[in-house]
């Protein structure tokens, strides 16, 4: 019996199903596949035509940081200990690897600060902040907007029927206090996020991509206008560098401020001891008694200790200033951002391939359903 005479039940009842028989079953029903692929191809064309044009600006930067040195701390700690001063430890340096940069970019404080940046949009012939642009324009192709609107209808309907509870929402920047189990109080700063801000942050987060490959940091920013994408790329990198430098040098700056304050105190004590010793010598010129000599030795010892402490702290202060410069991470521009000339989206070939693949998958599934129904119908 040839393939054309075989039924679905006969083919699936055999011990071994030949690929040629399966191909014949699908090929005989190829009209379904043609229809689904055609429908999805039309949808793909509509999506490509209605999708907003986007431009992607990319830049690359090399990150470089030095390990922190701990030289000179031990001697100073011993001298400071004589005066009852405990210096902070600076043997470890906080660091952020490039793998953490995506978390920085997607954080709420970073995105909230970014949405306030202002640009000139040629399309609207106006200077707007990113928050104003995205909250008013809401870019996206027609189908996504329709889908989002239809999806929001049930939630809007039930929100009207539901009795709203009145919550006392803290205002932006309000400071609240919470009591810990040990009785101490912790101050918390409240920050509110409106739905419009959440939408804009989602838009920005989806348009910024950053990845680290060793010391290389690659940043891509996608925006509806080429010049804005290049400008925003530069701003994002500047903010990331500012954040990383502040994070990695925060401990060193604390140490520097601490030692600087101790140096001022030691200088004041040194000058005070110096004046005491000078006043005592001026008032006890000539032959002094044993008691006066003992007092002079005591003042001299206090002066020597104050001078040694002040001198050591002054030296360490200068070392910390040098160390802070050494520990500040360096960023070298490897590949500067260039204003894109060609749009990155919509990628028409990619859109066509995706929708054709979806049509093939759906068509194959429908053919498979038809084969099962034919097999069950012949079995009855």
- pLDDT band at residue 369 under the 50/70/90 scheme: confident
pLDDT of residue 229: 92
pLDDT of residue 166: 45
Regarding predicted confidence, which is higher, 347 or 360? Answer: 360
The stretch 348-359 carries a mean pLDDT of 89
Q: Pick from 354, 373, 313: which is nearest to 77 by CA?
A: 313
Residue 236 has pLDDT above 90, yes or no: yes
Residue written as token pair 């008032």: 283
Please confirm whether the linkage preceding 346 is cis (ω < 30° from 0). Answer: yes
Query: Which of 87-96, 204-213, 272-281, 333-342 is predicted with the least confidence, judged by mean pLDDT?
Result: 87-96
- pLDDT band at residue 162 under the 50/70/90 scheme: low
Give me the phi and psi of 184, to 5 degrees please: -80, 155
Residue 91 has pLDDT above 50, yes or no: no
What are the distances in angstroms from CA 146 to CA 151, 199, 340?
9, 17, 30
Contact by Cβ (8 Å): 53, 345? yes
pLDDT of residue 79: 46
pLDDT of residue 48: 80
pLDDT of residue 90: 45
pLDDT of residue 59: 92
Contact by Cβ (8 Å): 266, 310? yes
Contact by Cβ (8 Å): 65, 248? yes
Contact by Cβ (8 Å): 71, 297? no
Give the separation between CA 317 and CA 90, rounded to whole angstroms.
13
The stretch 335-364 carries a mean pLDDT of 88
What is the pTM for the complete model shown?
Answer: 0.62
Q: Pick from 264, 279, 240: which is nearest to 100 by CA?
A: 240
Give the separation between CA 153 and CA 89, rounded to whole angstroms.
59
The stretch 193-215 carries a mean pLDDT of 87
pLDDT of residue 70: 46
């Amino acid at each position: 019996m040839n393939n054309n005479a075989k039924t679905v039940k006969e083919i699936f009842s055999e011990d071994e199903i030949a690929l040629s028989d399966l191909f014949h079953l699908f090929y005989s029903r190829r009209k379904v596949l043609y229809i689904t692929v055609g429908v999805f191809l039309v949808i793909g064309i509509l999506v490509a035509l209605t999708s907003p044009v986007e431009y992607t600006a990319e830049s690359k930067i090399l990150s470089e940081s030095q390990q922190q040195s701990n030289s000179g701390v031990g001697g100073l700690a011993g001298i400071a200990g004589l005066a009852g001063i405990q210096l902070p430890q600076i043997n470890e340096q906080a660091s952020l690897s490039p793998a953490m940069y995506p978390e920085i970019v997607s954080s709420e404080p970073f995105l909230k600060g970014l949405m306030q940046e202002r640009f000139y949009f040629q399309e609207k012939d106006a200077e707007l902040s990113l928050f104003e642009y995205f909250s008013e324009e809401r870019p996206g192709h027609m189908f996504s907007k329709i889908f989002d609107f239809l999806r929001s209808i049930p939630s809007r309907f039930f929100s009207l029927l539901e009795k709203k509870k009145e919550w006392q929402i803290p205002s932006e920047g309000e400071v609240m206090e919470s009591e810990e189990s040990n009785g101490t109080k912790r101050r918390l700063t409240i920050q509110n996020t409106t739905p419009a801000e959440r939408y804009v942050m989602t838009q920005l987060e989806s348009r910024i991509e950053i990845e680290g490959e060793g010391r290389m940091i690659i940043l891509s920013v996608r925006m509806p206008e080429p010049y804005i994408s290049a400008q925003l790329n530069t701003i994002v990198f500047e903010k990331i560098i500012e954040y990383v430098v502040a994070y990695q040098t925060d401990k060193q700056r604390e140490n520097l401020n601490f030692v600087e304050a101790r140096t001022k105190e030691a200088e004041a004590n040194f000058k005070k001891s110096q004046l005491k010793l000078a006043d005592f010598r001026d008032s006890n010129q000539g032959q002094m008694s044993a008691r006066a000599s003992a007092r002079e030795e005591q003042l001299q010892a206090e002066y020597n200790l104050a001078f040694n402490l002040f001198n050591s702290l002054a030296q360490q202060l200068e070392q910390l200033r040098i160390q802070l410069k050494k520990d500040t991470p360096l960023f070298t521009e490897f590949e500067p951002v260039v204003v894109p000339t060609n749009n990155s989206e919509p990628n028409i070939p990619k859109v066509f391939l995706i929708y054709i693949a979806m049509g093939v998958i759906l068509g194959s599934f429908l053919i498979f359903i038809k084969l099962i129904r034919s097999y069950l119908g012949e079995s009855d």
